[in-house]
A = this chain, B = another copy of it.
């Protein structure tokens, strides 16, 4: 079961303190490169312009904690990296509880959860804390240490390029900027690593693959600003991979156009994996599809997910972990949903019948020689498929019309091609 392997890999990545820049990103990329030697790692210097944005300075944390009036160390960054507000500036000092409160973040409705909060583009420091712990804090003076540094450095990302028969590309993107949370977001890079391994190992690929591991938003914007014309020229389909690790539901977020081949494939695959999959719309977007589908960018990127960010209670808190939320089964499901999508794309060609009228299947041993009242499911699917082989219907079109999963037709196509009854257009 590949889900178990992916789960193990996610555990390996878990403790790293990721953010949009810094050592955590580099360490994560290094671990991915161990799985994918063909991963190329890029460094973009702080201050580089990217469309309307600027690559930020790097953020490093050596130590961060609060000492209570009784000398107890709480909100210790070394215990849980969510405790420190993302991109906290350095601070050392003593504050009354009242003054400290302005720097504390908690969720009253989820008293046991440490929230995940960042302040990338405004200078602040702060601590995230379980509300239950916060409410037990006593009056008095607290000693605060945020031994962090924000300084010029690089934004890093990784890229795998896999050549195919065609220069047309399928684009996969996932993000590596979230610290220790599981569904959002260790599931994305973990599953994508294993998809890349599978694709790398394929004997032949119809299409070229571009697979990137980036920090969210600033990473995709930076990547786009460097590769836009090539992406626009070649990418005909792709998926943003995020939240693919829990085992509670499947869901789909469309591209902005909502009717690209990526959307059609996503809907087709999910419908057959889980008829109750949840269909979101463009207004529900929230990850890098915001950039890939922005006006002027217009890439055909859709999202296949398990339970969507923002739609599960543990989202963006310490409760989103690798024990209760993300499971081997959940990752397995996420992996296969996207792999099925890619397999459909790799087989989504147009076929043309090589004979006029129905072929005589009987003389080829492909049809019962006795006409009875009984149904013949397999023959039926084959004849239905054939009846649509007019060169105008893609595999996906036909699968929709015949109402079977596209992958059920892979073998039918093989047989009919061998019998020279159909040919690729």
A interface residues, Cβ below 8 angstroms from B:
50-53, 86, 105, 107, 115, 117-122, 124, 217, 220-221, 224-225, 228, 256, 282-283, 285, 290-291, 293-298, 310, 315-316, 352-353, 355-360, 362-363, 369-373, 384, 386-391, 401-403
The answer to whether B224 and A295 have CB atoms under 8 Å apart is no
From B221, B370, B386, give the contact of A122 (CB < 8 A).
B370
The answer to whether B373 and A115 have CB atoms under 8 Å apart is yes
The answer to whether A370 and B117 have CB atoms under 8 Å apart is yes
Minimum Cβ distance to chain B for residue A130 (Å)? 15
Known: A119-B370, A121-B369, A122-B370. A390 touches B295 (CB 8 A): yes
Residue numbers in B under 8 Å from A316 (CB-CB):
373
CA distance A256 to B388 in the complex (A): 8
Other A-B pairs, 8, CB within 8 Å; known A224-B356, A296-B356: A50-B357, A52-B355, A52-B359, A119-B370, A221-B357, A290-B358, A295-B388, A295-B391
Minimum Cβ distance to chain B for residue A118 (Å)? 5
Known: A51-B357, A228-B356, A356-B228. A117 touches B294 (CB 8 A): no
The answer to whether B297 and A357 have CB atoms under 8 Å apart is yes
Q: What 9 pairs between A and B have smallest CB-CB spacing?
A: A122-B369, A295-B390, A52-B355, A295-B353, A52-B359, A121-B362, A51-B356, A51-B357, A291-B357
CA distance A187 to B90 in the complex (A): 69
Of A52, A122, A388, most buried by chain B (CB within 10 Å of CB) is A52
Residue numbers in B under 8 Å from A224 (CB-CB):
356-357
Of A118, A121, A363, most buried by chain B (CB within 10 Å of CB) is A121
For the complex formed by this chain, how many copies does it contain in all?
3
Residue numbers in B under 8 Å from A357 (CB-CB):
50-53, 220-221, 224-225, 291, 294, 297
13 example contacts (A-B, Cβ-Cβ < 8 A) are as follows A52-B360, A115-B372, A117-B371, A121-B363, A124-B370, A220-B357, A283-B401, A283-B403, A295-B387, A295-B390, A296-B356, A298-B390, A310-B373
CA distance A363 to B54 in the complex (A): 11
CA distance A316 to B362 in the complex (A): 21
Known: A282-B401, A373-B310. A390 touches B296 (CB 8 A): yes
Residue numbers in B under 8 Å from A228 (CB-CB):
356
Residue numbers in B under 8 Å from A282 (CB-CB):
387, 401
Residue numbers in B under 8 Å from A115 (CB-CB):
372-373
Minimum Cβ distance to chain B for residue A206 (Å)? 24
Minimum Cβ distance to chain B for residue A45 (Å)? 18
Minimum Cβ distance to chain B for residue A183 (Å)? 14
Residue numbers in B under 8 Å from A297 (CB-CB):
356-357
CA distance A285 to B401 in the complex (A): 13
Minimum Cβ distance to chain B for residue A360 (Å)? 5
CA distance A388 to B315 in the complex (A): 27
Of A119, A371, A389, most buried by chain B (CB within 10 Å of CB) is A371
The answer to whether B221 and A294 have CB atoms under 8 Å apart is no
The answer to whether A290 and B387 have CB atoms under 8 Å apart is yes
Residue numbers in B under 8 Å from A122 (CB-CB):
362, 369-370
Residue numbers in B under 8 Å from A390 (CB-CB):
295-296, 298
The answer to whether A369 and B119 have CB atoms under 8 Å apart is yes
The answer to whether B283 and A360 have CB atoms under 8 Å apart is no
